[in-house]
Structure 1
């Protein structure tokens, strides 16, 4: 059963988290292009598509920690430090996605769809908003990279990894 749970956990991470990290990284430059050419329907559609991918796969990404907990329980490692750190980093990544990335994408999407505003109250205009979004997205991606490293290396593991 452990092998099945681990397989589903890894596949879910690849299928759900991978698209979010890629689409979220592609969003800021696409939003910049859409904001620079407000009459270009293709640029606006690209931004809408990337945002939809991020939203949908963020919801699907819930499967990853669910099967992660099941796998960890099956392996008897729920109390291991590397797993606790991974859980904390996963929760932080989810928080960054839900509280910072997706709302900023929505604001920029609204701006690209026609209101012409920068999309954020922070000032500096649309370019500054896309730069801030790129920075937050980078933090999100780094958190997932750290979780991935911990899942592979598993400090203190006796498997020789």
Structure 2
């Protein structure tokens, strides 16, 4: 059962968080291109919708992660607690900054030149948080599995 839950957790992370990270990362440069060519506005809308939809699906990642951690008896381990805190921080950035920022840019298309520097920087922080979580999931400081640097 542990292997099944872990497999679902990893698949959910790849299939849900991956598209969010890619679409959110592509959005700022696509927004700059859309200001020069209004025909590219559809790309911006697709990237925003992709970020939004996969963000909802991404909620499955910590659900299966917590279930897996509970089955493995590691919920109290520091690496998992730090991973959960970083996951909450990444979700907060996505919900409070990235998605509303993308919506503002999409809504303002054609009216003004979007300011995407902050959005790009925030997306970079979001992706960095997920990268640290992935490293913690693989390295697992204090693990007795033999995996580590």
Asked whether the two chains share a fold, i.e. TM above 0.5, the reply is yes
CA contact (8 A) 1:35 1:111 kept: no
CA contact (8 A) 1:2 1:71 kept: yes
1:136 aligns with 2:122: yes
Aligned pairs (5 A) from 1:112-151: 112=109, 114=110, 116-118=111-113, 126=114, 129-151=115-137
1:156 aligns with 2:146: no
Separation in structure 2 between the aligned mates of residue 33 and residue 110 of structure 1, nearest angstrom: 15
Alpha-carbon distance, 1:111 to partner? 1.3
- Aligned match for 1:54, one of 46, 51, 55: 51
Name structure 1 gaps, 5 residues minimum.
Answer: 119-125
Separation in structure 1 between the aligned mates of residue 36 and residue 146 of structure 2, nearest angstrom: 52
> With structure 1 as the length reference, what TM-score do the two structures score?
0.89
Separation in structure 2 between the aligned mates of residue 35 and residue 154 of structure 1, nearest angstrom: 44
- Aligned match for 1:75, one of 62, 69, 72: 72
Name structure 2 gaps, 5 residues minimum.
Answer: none
Find the residue that maps to 1:19 and give its secondary structure: helix
> With structure 2 as the length reference, what TM-score do the two structures score?
0.96
CA RMSD of aligned residues (A): 0.8
1:8 aligns with 2:8: yes
Partner of 2:92: 95
Separation in structure 1 between the aligned mates of residue 25 and residue 108 of structure 2, nearest angstrom: 19
Separation in structure 2 between the aligned mates of residue 99 and residue 117 of structure 1, nearest angstrom: 22
Alpha-carbon distance, 1:108 to partner? 0.4
Separation in structure 2 between the aligned mates of residue 6 and residue 132 of structure 1, nearest angstrom: 35
Q: When the two structures are aligned, how many residues end up with a matched partner?
A: 147
Alpha-carbon distance, 1:36 to partner? 2.3
